[in-house]
Amino acid sequence: MKKKLKANHSIVKLILDFESDTGFRNFCAHWKEPETEYSSPEIRDIVQNWKNIESKIECDNCHKFIRYEKVDGYEHISCPCRELNLKAEEYHEIEE
Ligand SMILES: [Zn+2]
């Protein structure tokens, strides 16, 4: 299991890259506006990208997504049950 999680380290970067994507930022900023049209291929690509990420960060055990938490000074990137856990040290390596 640990080996698998280590291999999944790249997912964190994938998410950060995705979040820094301008299109996605616009999507987040405007998705509540009913007059905004989001049926364009560009938005469909963004949604599809996110679906791909989602499928990799959902815990098979508790069926929750991984999330960032800081507990007692230790940084976790894991689901609530800690079954799915991206190691904090690895996360630090890609944190600017
Ligand atoms: Zn879990």
What are the two backbone dihedrals, phi and then psi, of residue 46, each rounded to the nearest 5 degrees? -60, -45
Q: How far is the CA of 18 from the centre of ligand 1 (A)?
A: 23
Give the residue from 77, 80, 78, 79 showing the smallest Cα distance to 93.
77
Q: What residues make up the domain containing 16?
A: 2-94
Q: What is the pLDDT of residues 27-81, one digit of tens each?
A: 666 666 655 566 678 888 888 888 888 888 899 999 999 887 888 888 778 899 9
* β-sheet bridge partners, residue 86: 77
Listed in sequence order, the residues at least 6 apart from 78 whose beta carbon sits closer than 8 Å to its beta carbon are 66, 67, 69, 84, 85, 86
* pLDDT exceeds cutoff 90 at 25: no
Q: How far is the CA of 94 from the centre of ligand 1 (A)?
A: 23
Number of domains within the chain: 1
Query: pTM value?
Result: 0.48
* β-sheet bridge partners, residue 85: 78
Give the residue from 90, 89, 87 showing the smallest Cα distance to 2.
87
Q: How far is the CA of 57 from the centre of ligand 1 (A)?
A: 10
